[in-house]
Structure 1
Amino acid sequence: MGYDLAWLHDRLVVKSVDRDGYQRTVDMLDNDSIRPTPTKDRTWSQLTYFVFWWSATANVSNLYSASTGMAMGLTMWEAIACSFGGQFLAGCLMALNGRAGAMYRIPFPVLCRSSWGPWGALWPTFNRAAMSIVWNGVNSVQGAQCLYVFLHAIFPSIENIPDKMGSKSALTSAQMMCFFVYWIINCAFLIVPVPKMKSLVYIKVFVYFAAAFSMLGWTVSLAGGSAKFLHAPSTVHGTEKSYLIFKFFFLGLASCGTFISNAADLQRYARKPNDVLIGQIISFPVSNLLVAVLGNVIAAASKSIFGELIWNPLTFLDKLMEGERYTSGNRAACAFISLAFVYSTVFSAIFENSIPAGNDIAALMPRYITIRRGFFICAVLSYAICPWYLLSTAAIFITFLSSYQIFLSAIAGILICDYYLIRRGYLNIPALYTAHPEGLYRYFYGFNPRAFVAYLIAVAPNFYGFLNQMGVKAPLGIQRFYYIAYPTGLCVAFGVYYMSCLASSPAGMEKYAGWKEPKDYVDENDLMREDGIGNEVDTAVIEKGALAASKEV
C-alpha cells in the first residue's frame, strides 16, 4: 500500500528542469507553468492582440448579453450604446491591470502575490478561478445549443426525444446529449499548446462573422427588408428608464470583470509590453460594438417575424425550423450557421475561460497541478456545477452577469493601486515565488492584511445588493445602488488599499520615487539574452532580481 501511494505521489508531483538540465520537484509556490513566459513563447504581436479581441468577442454569449437590454425594455440603439460604453471602460481597465503581465510575463495568480502575499494570493486566485469555471460552463451550454440546432437541421427526429429536464433548465434532454458531445470536443482541443493557437484565432474571426452576417441578412429579409423594426420604441419610460440605462451601462462593464482581472494571463505572451494596447483600448470595444449591433438587429427582427422578441439567437435559429419552416433551404442555412457558432464557442471557452482557470488552478497547488492539468480540472468542474440552470431566461442571465462583480472589482482595484502607486511599476519577480520569512512580499505570515481590509470594505457597501441578486428582499434604493457595484467596489478598494499603505508602508514601497518600471524583463532562468526578434533585454533587472532573491533565501 505504501509503495502504491509513493508511486502515485511520484506520478502526480510536478517536476521541472533547471538550467543545468537536472530534473527537480517544484515547491508549493512555483512550477514552470506559472513562471514568467519564456522568450521563445513571447510571440503575440500587435496584430495578434488586435485580431484576438475580434476573436474573443465573437461568441454567442455576447449576442445574448447585447440583446438582454431590449428584452428588459430598452430600444435597440439604447442597448447598443450602453453595451459599448461599459466595454470601452473595460478595455481601458484591462490595459491598466494587464500591464504587469505584459512587462514581467507573469500570470494573474503570481501578480496577486505582490499585493496579497504568497499565501493571501490564494483567495483572489480562487475567486477568479470560480468565475472562469462558471463561465466555461455557460459557454458549454451555448455550445450545446449550437450543436443541437446543427443536429436538428440534419435529423428532425431529435426534437421528439422526451424532455425530462424541467422548466428551470435552459437545455432539454436532447440538448443535454449535445452538451456531453460538445464537452468532449472542447476537452480534445485543450491538448493544443496555447502559443500555437494563433492560426485558430484568425480562423475563428472569419468563421464567426461570416455566420453572424449571414444570419443578419437572412433575418432582415424574413422581416420584410424594412428598417421599421430597428426603431421600435422603448417599453419603459421616465425614472425607470433612466435607471435601466444606468444599469445596462455598468452591466457592460461588469460583464467583463473576468477579462479585467485576468488581463495579465493573456498579455504575458506579448513580444513587447506595448503590443497589447491597441487591442485592449480599440479592438476590444469596437469588436464588442459590432457584435452588439448584430445581436440587437437579429433580436429586433424576431419581433417582426414571430410576433415576440427572442433574445436568444439560438432559439431564434431553432424556431426557423418549426412546422412549415422546416424546409431544405432553412435547414441548410441553420446547419452552417450553427456549426460556425459551435467552432467559435469552443475557442471562446478556451481563451476566455480555460486559460485563466488553468493559470489559477495551477497556482493554487503548483506542486501537483500544471496549467494543462488545470484546463481539464476546469472542464470537469464546469460540467459538475450544472450551468444549464443559468440561461433559462434573460432575467436569470442578467442576474448571473451582475452577481459576482463586487468580488472581482475589489480585486482589480487592489492590483491596479499596488502596481502603479505602491510599486511604481517595479516588481521583484524572484521574490514573488518564495514565502521565506525575509521575502519582500512576505507581509504577515504570507498574508497582507492591507489587501484583505481593502477587499472587505469594498465588498461591504454592495453586499446587500448581492444578497438581493441571490433572492433576498431589499429596498429599491439598495437594488439601484447595486447597478454601480463594479465602479464602486474598484474605487473603494483602490482608495482604502492606498491609504492603508500610506499609514503602514509595506516592504519595498516606492514612495515618491518616480516610475520604476524596467525597459524589459526576462526571467533569470531564461538563458536567452535576446528574444530572436530584435528586442533588447534589460539584463540588469535579471541580475538585480536574482541578487535580491538570493539575499532573501
Structure 2
Amino acid sequence: MQINNPSPALYNEDLAPAEDRKWGAFSIFNVWTSDVHSLWGYYLAASLFLLCGSLVNFVLAIGIGSLVIYALMQMVGLAGVRTGVPFPVLARASFGTFGANAPALIRAVVACFWYGAQSAAASGAIVALLLRNPAMLEFHQTSHFLGHSTLEVICYLLVWGAQLLIIQNGMETVRRFQDWAGPAVWVMMLILAIYLVIKSGTFSFGEEIPQEVLLEATRAAGVPGTPGSFVTLTAVAATWITYFAALYLNFCDFSRYCKSERDLRIGNAWGLPVNLLAFCLVAGVTTTAAWHVYGEVLLHPDQISAKFDSWFLALLAAATFAVATLGINVVANFVSAAFDFSNTMPKHISFKRGGVIAAIIALVLYPWAPWETNATHFVNFIGSTMGPIFGIMMVDYYLIRKGVINVAALYDEHGEFRFQNGWHRKAFIALIVGMIFSSILPTFTSILPSWWGTYGWFFGVAIGGGCYYLLRASDR
C-alpha cells in the first residue's frame, strides 16, 4: 500500500506497510523454531513435561496450551498480513497516533532486558565449552574485567556483535538466518537426545524421578500443585501460553512480510502446535535420559553438555545452545525493540538505528547483569502489562473495527486515530484497570489468592479488553 503525504512524525520507510513480501510458510515456521528453542525455553519445556506426570497428561496440557497459542498468534498475525504494519503502528488504532509509544516502549524495555539476558546465556554456553581447555580455565579464573571474567566478557561481545550484524542487514537477513538456524537446531537437538537415550538404555517420561527431587528442580518454573494433578496441569497450560506473551504483541512485525494468509496459517500450524509438542517431548525425554545416565535432574541443557566426555558432542551442544539463543533474541527481542524505538522518532530513528539502541542498552547493562538479580521481578512486572495491551488491541481490531483499518490514517497525526491530541484516553483507562489486576495487586498486595499470579496474563487480557469494549460502547 502506498501512503500519500504521511506525517513525518509517524512515518519512515521501515514503519511503512510492507510491500516486499517474501516470507512463506517455511519462514513463519522458523520464526517459532527460533523463538522457543533457547536455553530458557528448553528449561521451561522440560520442567512442564515432567510436571505433567505422564505422556497422556503431557499431550493434554501442552497440546491444549499450544492450540491456544496458535489461535492467539493467528489473531495478531492476520492483522499483520492484512495491514502490513508493525506492532507499534498497529497499536495507534487503539492507543492513538502518539499514545502508541507507551505500549511500544513497555515492549522495548522488556526486549532490551531479555536481549542482554539471552546474550549472556548464549555466551555462557561458549564459555562452558572453552573451560574444558586448562589454559582457558586458568585465564577464566585469573583475569577479570567489568565484574566478570575476561573470557566471559570476550564471549559476550562476540555474541553481541554477531546479533548486531544480523539485524543491521535488515529483515531479509533475519529471514535467511532463521531458515538456516531453525532446522539446524532441530537436527542437533535430536542428535543429543538420541545419544542420551542410547547411553541410558531406556526411553521414559520421568515418572520414576522422586517427587521431592522433581519439585525442587522445577521450582523456578512457578507451577504449583502435585505433578499430574488437575491443578498442576491447568497451571502448566497457563504457564506455557503466558510464556509467549511478548510475541502476541509483536508477531505482526514478522507476519507483515508473509506472502498470504494461507502461508501464515500453514507456518503457524507447523510452527506452533506441532513444533511445540515435539520440542517439549524431546526436551523431556532428553532430561529423563540424563537422569538415568547422571543421576541428577538436569533441566538446563548446558548442565547436561558439561558432563559429556566427548569434545565433539560438547562442541555440538555449545553450537546448538548458542545458535538457538541467538534465534530467540533476534525474534523476540531485537526486531521488536528496533521497531519500537523507531516508532518514537521516525524522522531520526530507522529500524537499524533502533536495533543499535537496543544493543547498546544491553551492552551497558552487562556489567551489572540485572537479569541475575531482583531486577528480573521488575521486568516481569512490566511484562505482565502485555496482557491488557494485547486484550485492548485485539478487541479494537476484531470487535470494534471488525478487522478493517484505514491504514493510511495510521500515518496521519490529524486523522481518525488522533483521538485526544494523539492519545486515546479510553484505551489508557482500560490499560490501567487491566494492570491493576494483572500486575499491581498480585505483585504488591495479598488481596488476591496465591494462584492468581499464574493466570495474571489471562486476567489482564480479559479485564483490559473487556473494559475497553465497554468504554467504546458509547462510540458505536
Instruction: Determine if the TM-score, normalized by the shorter chain, exceeds 0.5.
Output: yes
Distance in structure 2 (CA, Å) of the matches to 1:372 and 1:58: 25
Gaps spanning 5+ residues in structure 1: where?
A: 1-16, 506-510, 512-553
Pairing of 1:31-110 with structure 2 (within 5 A): 31-38=12-19, 41-69=20-48, 75=53, 77=55, 82-110=61-89
Partner of 1:421: 399
Which of 454, 458, 481 is matched with 2:434 structurally?
458
Which of 404, 420, 430 is matched with 1:444 structurally?
420
Residue 248 in structure 1 maps to residue 236 in structure 2 = yes
Query: Any conservation in 1 of the 2:6–2:412 contact (CA below 8 Å)?
Result: no
Which of 365, 369, 374 is matched with 1:385 structurally?
365
Distance in structure 2 (CA, Å) of the matches to 1:35 and 1:122: 16
Which of 304, 309, 319 is matched with 1:316 structurally?
304
Which of 341, 350, 360 is matched with 1:361 structurally?
341
Query: Any conservation in 2 of the 1:149–1:318 contact (CA below 8 Å)?
Result: yes
Shift of 1:175: 3.2
Deviations 1:419-467 (A, max 9, x none): 111112221122111222xx21111111111101111111112334552
Which of 483, 488, 492 is matched with 2:459 structurally?
488
Deviations 1:12-56 (A, max 9, x none): xxxxx999xxxx997221111101112xx2111233323443343
- Helix, strand or coil at the partner of 1:240: coil
Distance in structure 2 (CA, Å) of the matches to 1:208 and 1:259: 20
CA spacing shift, 1:389–1:415, aligned 2, 3 Å: same
Query: Any conservation in 1 of the 2:203–2:285 contact (CA below 8 Å)?
Result: no
Distance in structure 2 (CA, Å) of the matches to 1:25 and 1:421: 27
- Helix, strand or coil at the partner of 1:231: coil
Query: Any conservation in 2 of the 1:97–1:260 contact (CA below 8 Å)?
Result: yes
Deviations 1:205-235 (A, max 9, x none): 2321121111112222332x12356332562
Distance in structure 2 (CA, Å) of the matches to 1:399 and 1:281: 33
Pairing of 1:93-492 with structure 2 (within 5 A): 93-153=72-132, 155-160=133-138, 161-162=140-141, 174-223=151-200, 225-228=201-204, 230-232=206-208, 235=211, 240-241=225-226, 242-320=230-308, 325=309, 330-386=310-366, 388-390=369-371, 403-436=381-414, 439-464=415-440, 466-467=442-443, 474=446, 478-492=449-463
Which of 472, 487, 497 is matched with 2:468 structurally?
497
Query: Any conservation in 1 of the 2:181–2:327 contact (CA below 8 Å)?
Result: yes
Distance in structure 2 (CA, Å) of the matches to 1:274 and 1:135: 32
Q: Could you say which structure has the higher helix fraction?
A: 2
Shift of 1:125: 0.6
The code of the aligned residue for 1:333 comes to: L
Query: Any conservation in 2 of the 1:80–1:293 contact (CA below 8 Å)?
Result: no
Deviations 1:254-297 (A, max 9, x none): 11011111021111101223421222244222212222112222
Distance in structure 1 (CA, Å) of the matches to 2:417 and 2:322: 44
CA spacing shift, 1:478–1:385, aligned 2, 3 Å: farther
Partner of 1:27: 8
Higher RCO (CA 8 Å, separation ≥ 6 residues): 2
- Helix, strand or coil at the partner of 1:259: helix
- Helix, strand or coil at the partner of 2:409: helix
Distance in structure 1 (CA, Å) of the matches to 2:137 and 2:205: 31
Matched positions, count: 457
Deviations 1:112-131 (A, max 9, x none): 11111011111111111112
Query: Any conservation in 2 of the 1:118–1:442 contact (CA below 8 Å)?
Result: yes
Distance in structure 2 (CA, Å) of the matches to 1:310 and 1:141: 20
Deviates more, 1:308-317 or 1:174-183: 174-183
Deviations 1:78-111 (A, max 9, x none): 5675444333312211111222211010111010
Shift of 1:368: 1.1
- Helix, strand or coil at the partner of 2:316: helix
Greater radius of gyration (CA): 1
RMSD: 3.1
Shift of 1:374: 0.9
CA spacing shift, 1:194–1:444, aligned 2, 3 Å: same
Distance in structure 1 (CA, Å) of the matches to 2:293 and 2:202: 12
Distance in structure 2 (CA, Å) of the matches to 1:303 and 1:397: 32
- Helix, strand or coil at the partner of 1:385: helix
Distance in structure 2 (CA, Å) of the matches to 1:290 and 1:173: 38
Query: Any conservation in 2 of the 1:299–1:309 contact (CA below 8 Å)?
Result: yes
Partner of 1:551: none
- TM-score, length-scaled by structure 1: 0.75
Distance in structure 2 (CA, Å) of the matches to 1:464 and 1:430: 36
CA spacing shift, 1:58–1:331, aligned 2, 3 Å: same
Shift of 1:340: 3.3
CA spacing shift, 1:213–1:428, aligned 2, 3 Å: same
Distance in structure 1 (CA, Å) of the matches to 2:356 and 2:287: 35
Deviations 1:460-488 (A, max 9, x none): 12334552xxxx6747x532111111111
The code of the aligned residue for 2:180 comes to: I
The code of the aligned residue for 1:425 comes to: G
Distance in structure 2 (CA, Å) of the matches to 1:139 and 1:80: 28
CA spacing shift, 1:157–1:217, aligned 2, 3 Å: farther
CA spacing shift, 1:34–1:481, aligned 2, 3 Å: same
Shift of 1:311: 1.2
- Helix, strand or coil at the partner of 1:32: coil
Gaps spanning 5+ residues in structure 2: where?
A: 216-223
